[in-house]
Structure 1
Amino acid sequence: MKKSLIYLLGILLIATVYACKEDVKEEIIPDPIPDPVELTISPETALRWSEVTLDVVKGSPNNSPTYASRCLGYFGLTMYESTVKGSIIFKSITPDLTGLGSTPDPEEGEEMNWEIALNAGQKEIIHALYPHAPAEISAKIDSLYDLIIAEKLKESVSQAAVNASDLYGKLIARQIFEWAKLDKGHEGFLKTFDFDYDYPTGRTYWSPPVAGQSSIAAPMHPYWGENRTFASANSTMEIPVFMESDNDPDSQYYKDMMEVYEKNISLTQEEKEIALWWGDDPAASSSPPGHSYYLTASLIEEKQNNLFEATSAFAKVGMSTADAFINVWKCKYFYHAERPKNFISRNIDGRFVQFWPEPPFPAFTSGHSSQIAAAATALIDVFGNENKISDDFHTGRPWDSIRKVEFKTRNFDTIWELAEECGYSRILGGIHTPQDNLVGLDEGKKIAENINSFNWKY
């Protein structure tokens, strides 16, 4: 009995030894411990540049959501690439960007200050993409650049580090700008409206409104959908299926239009506030993608992410919204779908006037819905969805005397809730149907997921 017991214990001991060996083989190597210095670099420089950026977008002539989205994509990317070589967590995403090529490494042994590199890169890329900015706006760019350098010198950053970092940031920006010039959107501000565009005619097709949001009765950037996307996967996405016009009252298309009509003739004061809040008219604001960039800055400021996390957020949101506008515009000028007013006036109520003026481009899909879904999906990737947000982007603007609505701060329990309200606001405004909104939200989410799937970290 004793021999049997000893034999059994021996077998168990051998099995335990082999099990331990197997455990060693399958040991999971933990992620590298973050560099404490990296975690303490403030995002403040990135936030200050985002504020000036929105002033540039809003204050420059020929502002459009299309051109603004493109520029914000490059601004965010430049922020990220001008700093990322200072991180042991994040890495360059140039392998995911077709045609850009690798960005240079800093010279070996050189002392670098990554806030100075970001500062130089932003000055360079903003001036390059907004050569048409008014003198007072350009002066804001130069003033912030000079101020940050002066501050760093006062903080005892060496002149050698300032010089090396400044040159590095400018080199990154110049490389990205040369790449940007080949995307088919270069100098898009020179021809925002195309009077020569040959769009289809017919009762069910869109045509430029006579009295719309823009005083120019011509389509906005009809070829924008041909531009190069940041994520190559976004350029190969299939154009979403459109539920075509149908004046049968039992059809879903007719029911969608009836929903827009019934909502617009019975808007509550709060619904008017929602519709107005998300209007983001480029003539009075930094446009929808600028609103998304602002929300990114708000979350960064609240969470106090370090510099590298902050620049990754600006890059993800900027490139996601830029790609969203490219894909939406490809869809808009593929179907040339009519706006609700056209259908409702023809089939339901000839006196119908929607709450928000009609923009100068076709309906399907909703640009607002797609870009906000893209921005939200990018933000969720960085911060998680469960974040209470107070959006004060328009707070303080004068009372809208035409619509009798004031601009009130909007509050949300999650990031996605914010996206859903923005999309729904276009139905409340009377310029989009549920189809336009829901498909736009879905497409925007997919677009940002393709950006999020880049190899951002080691």
Structure 2
Amino acid sequence: MKKIYSLIALCTLVFVFACNKDLPTELEFSSYEFNSNDPQGGNWKPILISAGSDLKIPVPTATNSPAYQAELAKTKSAIQGMTAGQRKTLVYWTNNPVVRWNEIALELIAKYNLIPGPNADGTYPVPNPADPQGPPAFPFAHPPYASRALAYLSVAHFDGLISAWHYKFLYNRAPAYQVDPSIPFAYHDQNIPAYPSDGAVVAAASRKILTAMFPLEAAYLERREKEHLESLLLSGEFVPSDLDAGVSIGEEIAALALKRASTDGMKNAQTNQVVGDSIANEAFKRFGWKWINQESPQRPVGLTPLFGKVKMWNVPNVEATRPPMPPKPGTPEFEADVKLLKEYAANSTAERRRITNFWQDGLGTYTPPGHWNDFAARFIVKYRLNTLRAARTFAYLNMAMMDGGISCWDAKYYYHYPRPIQLIPGFETIAGTPNFPAYTSGHSVFSAAGSEILAYIFPEEAKLVRGWAEEAAISRVYGGIHWSFDAIAGTQQGRNVAQYTLEKARVDGAGR
């Protein structure tokens, strides 16, 4: 019991910081001066490719060539004819569109985070990627799905921008506004070469990755890409060939990311009742218990029972981070937790309810992984990271959280541990009843993994983010959804998972 009370004490200490956090739809920030331009960024170690030079683009024309001068004239003409609406859009995209495209991903996750309801006959339909219109519409953007979508998006951004940086400083072609000082520049001068456009890399990769993840949004995402590319031209930094080269890199790295995604096992994560029942029965043979869904009508199978078999990014296998067995029902440790949950239920406080509600991240939200992406975006802006470092932050954050989710789901269906509502007679939660086993807590794993990455990249925020992770963990106990040992073991599990990603981050050539 000492561990859980220590957890509560720490949450109390950090609550003064956490209580002011809001759930945004769009981060308000404008163009800012990067704290570095990382001229050696093209030499950093990517994830899907072996080096930035793997993605090929044409050698750019010289700035004094007739071809370039014609492009320059086209850029100047477009800027001179800019409308009020285009000026507003230019302000929106800023000079760090990695953050903006991450926000678009979070918006789509929230939009599609809607669990399919039962049919009239009591059966439950499953979203089908082959028929995204449904019903029900594809996808159901639950936490595992969200973590995966964000991981592939962020990894594509990171690798694509390493490639862009490689060519930027190899060819060193000046931005349009430096070649022709009469061209106004919309943002801060960062002294970063223009060819290829880093923004175009991000736009093209984002459109392609997110369209694959959210196929019903294809037209919307195409409009956003077009709008972004237009803003890049109107910024005064790029000419059309800068954009074309960036789009080429973005599309190529997105194709490589989606090739990995097509074989990572996610398509098999949601299985049928026969397989679901066999997983439950195997757990019962092993441990003498199994989770039973408490919904009415009851879904025939839990959420993504085979997500624990999806290919991980940096962890060698799920056994490497599988937590120890939870307490057997009826033991003193188990009964102590029953007493603790009953005490919380009988003595709810405004502070506990606020913590529970803030970290709920349920249906219609951007889920726990999205929550940590929002935190990352705020730190990126606060510390003025350039697009390459912003992409690196999101890539390591989301790989760690996806690996954490896979590890967590492995434990959930390996141990198949019942939730409090199943084992405590008459017990009621204040935060719903998730459709999957209890041990370990997904919120705890996602949050601990995410906090360790942010603590590494932003050491000034280490105490704060680790405190937030502890708060996310205890919120599920306050809500009656989880046992305290779900939260404690899940927090340690998330920290353990993150170490594998941090091993890669420490040797990628970027420094901290």
TM range (shorter): 0.7 to 0.9
Structure 1 segment 348-427 matched on structure 2, within 5 A: 351-386=426-461, 414-427=464-477
Aligned twin of 1:278:
359
Q: Any idea what SS the aligned residue of 2:482 has?
A: coil
Q: Distance in 2 between matches of 1:386 and 1:301?
A: 14
Counterpart position of 1:430: 480
1: CA distance, partners of 2:324 / 2:268: 31
Pick from 138, 158, 165: which aligns with 2:246?
165
- In 2: Cα distance, 1:52 partner to 1:204 partner: 42
The answer for unaligned runs of 5 or more in structure 2 is: 1-34, 42-92, 113-136, 167-192
Aligned equivalents of 1:43, 1:309: Cα separation in 2? 13
Q: Deviations over 1:354-397 (max 9, x none)?
A: 2221100001111110000001011111111536xxxxxxxxxx
Is 1:120 the equivalent of 2:224? no
Please state if 1:296 is matched with 2:381: no
Residues 241/76 of structure 1: CA separation in 2 closer, same or farther (3 Å cut): same
Residue 341 of structure 2: aligned partner? 260
After TM superposition, give the deviation of residue 127 of structure 1 in Å: 0.8
Residue 116 of structure 1, CA deviation: 1.0
Measure how far apart 1:302 and its partner are: 2.2
Whole-Å separation in 2 of the counterparts to 1:43 and 1:211: 50
User: TM-score scaled by structure 1?
Assistant: 0.74
Q: Using the alignment, how far apart are the partners of 1:451 and 1:73 within structure 2?
A: 12
1:440 alignment partner, one of 478, 490, 504: 490
> Which amino acid in 2 is paired with 1:358?
T
Task: Indicate the residue corresponding to 1:207 in structure 2.
Answer: 292
- Looking at structure 2, the residues matched to 110 and 372 of structure 1 have their Cα atoms a distance apart, in angstroms, of 37
> What is the CA distance between 1:152 and its match in structure 2?
1.5
Of 424, 444, 449, which residue of structure 1 is paired with 2:499? 449
Partner of 2:149: 71
Contact 1:119/1:148 (<8 A) preserved: yes
* 1:311 equivalent in structure 2: 391
C-alpha displacement at 1:305, in angstroms? Answer: 1.0
Structure 1 residues 329 and 64: alpha-carbon distance in aligned structure 2, compared to 1, 3 A threshold: same
Q: Which residue identity lines up with residue 365 of structure 1 in the other structure?
A: T
> Pick from 322, 326, 329: which aligns with 2:406?
326
The equivalent residue for 1:145 is 225
Partner of 2:98: 46
Task: Name the CA shift for 1:297/1:255 in 2 (closer, same or farther; >3 Å).
Answer: same
SS at match of 1:354: coil
Cα deviations by residue, 1:142-161 (Å, 9 ceiling, x for unpaired) = 22211111111123411111
Identity of aligned residues (%): 23
Q: Does the CA contact (< 8 Å) of 1:234 and 1:323 recur in 2?
A: no
Q: Which amino acid aligns with 1:69?
A: S
Cα shift readout 1:293-325 (whole Å, capped 9, x = no counterpart)? 122112212222111111111101111110111
C-alpha separation in 1, matches of 2:417 and 2:224: 44
Question: Are the equivalent residues in 2 in contact too, given 1:110–1:164 (CA < 8 A)?
Answer: no
> Residue 111 of structure 1 contacts residue 164 of structure 1 at CA under 8 Å; is this kept in 2?
yes
CA shift in 2, pair 1:150/1:217, >3 Å:
same
Cα deviation, residue 194, structure 1: 3.7
| Equivalent in the alignment of 2:111 | 59
- Inter-CA distance 330–43: structure 2 relative to 1 (3 Å threshold): farther
Tell whether the 8 Å contact from 1:385 to 1:415 is kept in structure 2 after alignment: no
1:26 corresponds in structure 2 to none
Q: Deviations over 1:404-449 (max 9, x none)?
A: xxxxxxxxx7111111100000100111112111111111011111
Q: What letter is aligned with 1:81?
A: D
Shift in alpha-carbon separation, 1:36–1:287, aligned structure 2, 3 A: closer
Query: What is the CA distance between 1:170 and its match in structure 2?
Result: 0.4
* 1:240 aligned onto 2:323: yes
SS at match of 2:424: helix
Match of 1:226 in 2: 309
Structure 1 contact 58–285 (Cα < 8 Å) conserved: yes
User: For each residue in 1:328-372, what CA deviation from the matched residue of structure 2 results, as whole angstroms up to 9, or x when unmatched?
Assistant: 111111111011122221xxxxx2212221100001111110000
- Note closer, same or farther for the CA distance 1:110–1:414 as it changes in structure 2 (3 Å cut): closer
- The size of the alignment, in residue pairs, is 363
**SS in structure 2 opposite 1:386?**
helix
Return the offset for 1:263.
Answer: 0.9
State the 1:256 CA deviation.
1.5
> Which shows bigger deviation, 229-238 or 194-203?
194-203
After superposition, the C-alpha distances for 1:36-59 in whole angstroms (9 at most, x for unaligned) are 7789x9762011101111111122
Q: Give me the whole-angstrom Cα distance separating, in 1, the residues matched to 2:491 and 2:109.
A: 24
How many Å apart are 1:74 and its aligned residue?
0.6
1:36 and 1:308 map into 2 onto residues whose CA distance is 8
Q: 2:324, 2:208 → 1: CA distance?
A: 41
Residue pair 2:337, 2:483 contacting (<8 A) in 1 also = yes
Q: Deviations over 1:142-198 (max 9, x none)?
A: 22211111111123411111111111110000011001111101486xx4x743311
| Contact 1:82–1:118, Cα closer than 8 Å, also in 2 | yes
CA change 1:168–1:370 in 2 (3 A) is same
Q: Distance between the aligned counterparts of 1:49 and 1:220, measured in 2?
A: 28
Displacement of 1:253: 1.4
- Quote the residue 2:24 is aligned against: none
